[in-house]
Structure formats: C-alpha cells, structure tokens
C-alpha cells in the first residue's frame, strides 16, 4: 500500500499564506546532505486568526508521505531511530508523487523547522533530482529563534527545548510527531515573541539571522 497520505484535507489558499505557516520535518537515511536520501516528509499547518495572534495548530491541515525506495536503507541504527523499515520504504509512494503532493499542499506558506538548514537541504536536493525544481518559500529556523527569545536557557537540541517547556513528543524522530512537537514549541515561544515585538514571520526571521551572526562572531 502506498504510504502517502494527507492526514486530513484542510483548505489552503495562496492569498492567506501570511496567516498559515507550515511546520515540517524530514526523515533521511543519514546526516550527509550530499549522499544520504530522503525517506519521509511530514508537515502541519499553524494558523493565525489575525496579525499578531497566537498560532494555532490545525490538525485538519496536515501532510505525511513516505518515499518509495527500490533499494532501501538497511542501516539498523538508522531504522531504529526513525522507524521506517525496509518494508515501509518499499511500500512508499513514488518520490515525484510525494514531492508534488507536498509542494501543492504547502502552497505559498512560509516553512518552519528546528535546525531548518538540514531539512531545507535534503528536501531541496530531492525536489531538484525528482522534479527538476525547488521550493521558493521562505524558511525559518526555530533553533536560533528559541535561543534569541530565551537567552538564559541552556538548551540547544530540540529534545532540550521540549524538556524545558515540558512538551511531550509522542514518537521522537518520527517526522509527523516531530512536527507537532515543534509546532507546540512555537506556541510556547509566542508570548516571548509578542513581548519582544517579534510576533511576525519577518521579525522572527530577523531574530534568527541576528542570532546566527552573534554565534559566528
């Protein structure tokens, strides 16, 4: 059975993309952005009733797809991490089908992930290989945003931030569950974002750039 599904068929429209952000996560055969392969991609929308309002997770507007691999990854440690075994990889949907469906579902919405550079690189490479094009949506990395909004918190990895806020992740390192945990992290960060006048995608993106510049310096 093809492992491609939109969890629910929620509406999305290009003209409301500033009030609909997509939190996403990918699962891969490893951490090498040049050699490893994309196994799965999942996303959930967060929506804003009005400008500056707190983000709400919209479970009726979610996506999950597993890509078919005729020669699946058999690395046991990697499979134990993400849970996508040999049978699931073989049962996945054709990669172009998954990626085209994801592209349509995302629409014009901004994209958000924790340590987004990896997700962006793996997804971008897969799309260029399979579809000969990439996504042109703006990206936001929640890791430097969290650090900028809470500079006294000694947390770096997603697990550490989830522990700090008491957020439970149903199945860690499973793309769909990770997107929900990351979306909840965004919600927990929002009061600080609003207090620091960063309650918009553009403002959070500036904060992320500033944090990266500080750490490079």
Predicted confidence at residue 5, as pLDDT, reads: 52
Determine the length of the chain: 217
Predicted confidence at residue 40, as pLDDT, reads: 92
Q: How confident is the model at residue 90 (pLDDT cuts 50, 70, 90)?
A: confident
Residue 7's alpha-carbon distances to 21, 94, 155, 195, in angstroms, are 17, 18, 32, 34
Beta bridge partners of 5: 64
Beta bridge partners of 93: 67
What's the pLDDT tens digit per position in 148-185? 999 999 999 999 999 999 998 776 657 788 999 999 99
Identify the residue with better confidence: 173 or 55: 55
Furthest C-alpha separation in the chain:
50
Burial of 76 (0-12, 13-18, 19+ CB in 10 A): exposed
What is d(CA 41, CA 92) in angstroms, rounded to the nearest whole number? 12
SS3 44: strand
What's the pLDDT tens digit per position in 119-138? 999 999 999 999 999 999 99
| Nearest of 114, 210, 212 to residue 161 by alpha carbon | 114
Lookup: tokens for 157: 């990895």
Predicted confidence at residue 31, as pLDDT, reads: 84
Predicted confidence at residue 92, as pLDDT, reads: 83
Instruction: Reply yes or no on whether the pLDDT at 93 is more than 60.
Output: yes
Name the percent of the chain lying above pLDDT 70.
80
Locus of tokens 């967060």: 46
Predicted confidence at residue 78, as pLDDT, reads: 56
User: HSE of 190 in the Cβ direction (CA atoms, 13 Å)?
Assistant: 19
What is d(CA 202, CA 49) in angstroms, rounded to the nearest whole number? 17
């Amino acid at each position: 059975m093809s492992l491609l599904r939109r969890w629910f068929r929620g509406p999305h429209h290009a003209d409301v993309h500033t009030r609909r952000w997509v939190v996403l996560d990918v699962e891969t055969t490893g951490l090498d952005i040049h050699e490893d392969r994309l196994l799965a991609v999942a996303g959930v929308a967060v929506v804003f009733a009005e400008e500056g309002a707190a983000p709400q997770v919209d479970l009726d507007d979610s996506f999950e797809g597993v890509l078919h691999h005729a020669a699946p990854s058999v690395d046991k440690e990697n499979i134990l991490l993400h849970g996508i075994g040999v049978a699931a990889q073989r049962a996945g949907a054709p990669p172009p089908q998954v990626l085209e469906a994801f592209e349509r579902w995302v629409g014009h919405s901004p994209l958000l992930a924790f340590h987004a550079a990896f997700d962006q690189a793996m997804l971008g490479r897969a799309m260029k290989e399979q579809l000969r094009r990439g996504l042109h949506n703006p990206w936001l990395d929640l890791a430097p945003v969290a650090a900028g909004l809470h500079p006294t918190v000694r947390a770096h990895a997603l697990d550490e931030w989830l522990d700090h806020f008491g957020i439970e992740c149903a199945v860690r390192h499973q793309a769909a569950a990770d997107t929900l945990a990351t979306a909840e992290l965004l919600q927990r960060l929002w009061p600080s974002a609003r207090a620091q006048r960063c309650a918009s995608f553009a403002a959070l993106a500036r904060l992320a750039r500033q944090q990266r510049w500080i750490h490079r310096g």
